[in-house]
Amino acid sequence: MQKNITLAMGNGGEENNELIRDIFYKAFKNEILEQSEDAAVIENGKFVLSTDSFTVSPLFFNGADIGKLAICGTCNDLAMMGAKPKYMTVGVIIEEGFATRDLQKIVKSMQKELANNGAIVVSGDTKVMPKGTIDKIIINTTGVGEILQGGISSNNITTNDFILVSRDIGCHGATIFTAREGMEMNSSLESDCSSLFPVIKALIDNGVKITAMRDATRGGLSAVLNEWAKQSQICIEVEEDSIPVSSEVFGICEMLGFEATSLANEGTFCLAVSEEQSQKALEILKEFHENAAVIAKVTDRYKEKVVLNSSYGSSRFLESPTGELLPRIC
């Protein structure tokens, strides 16, 4: 590992995984943490617990703001384990001189998104830092959820599973980039930031047996699939043409040399279900977003690899992102 922390270590890709594995996992090693899930299953499988911190820049962007992002981020992590978000704590670190009007807007967004999840804030903390010591505002949210369907784990994916994505990818990362760079876009591009519990509840209520779920945040789709391949020691074969990408995101990627599969999302998730239930799951996902799709199947072609198959008959490995992709996207 490098001697000093770099921005790349926060991008959700290989450097981020190395930082977590070699420092934090090594120090805090225990059976729950080693599961490497979006949220920790606790109390004999009754509840899940997750925490996240948010430093996005700019604070306000098309489709959301840091407040909505903070609630969605943690509630979605709980939902990915088949749980209903119930209780949250909120920690806010504010820079001296920050406009109270902006703070009120952020808190109002948080309040609205809490209602969408049926969750409440039960504790919190506020700190004010001298001007120039932080950039405007940092928010931490911790959540507790009640498990509605147990046994969901990224360690249990098998060759009987298909992989689905809940909507088109990359909208959040593309939106943050264009906002940060001041790019004027004559389009409807906006962040996908949204609460995922309603769609997860629909899957569970309709009897879909879920193998694994993961929201494709930092590092995007490629990070999730590579994490799954390693955790379950499987090969995931992705059909490139089946990955839904909007024309706006595709255009930005073409112009700037990005890979849509590496761009961050904040309201898009990957779902692993058995082949027998894949069509049923897809129909439910399409009720929430028309661009949901089956994108991959699990095979034993390689071990711990993700393969991207093109329509031309060629294939290549889809690697986990590396380098400083786009810092401060969440």
pLDDT band with cut points at 50, 70 and 90 for residue 305 = very high
Residue 22 lies in a domain: yes
pLDDT tens figures, 88-102: 999 999 999 999 999
Q: What single letter denotes the amino acid at residue 191? A: S
pLDDT of res. 324: 67
CATH number of the domain that 37 lies in? 3.30.1330.10
Range of the structural domain that residue 130 is part of: 7-147
Please state whether beta strands 315-317 and 47-54 pair in parallel, antiparallel, or not at all (unpaired).
unpaired
Residues 193, 248 within the same domain:
yes
Residues 233, 312 within the same domain:
yes
pTM of the shown model? 0.95
What total of structural domains would you count in the chain? 2
User: Residue 186: pLDDT above 80?
Assistant: no
User: Residue 84: pLDDT above 90?
Assistant: yes
Q: Give percent of the chain with pLDDT exceeding 90.
A: 86
Residue 1 lies in a domain: no
Residue 62 lies in a domain: yes
Residue 232 lies in a domain: yes
Residue 2 lies in a domain: no
Sign of the CA dihedral running 29, 31, 32, 33: positive
pLDDT of res. 327: 81
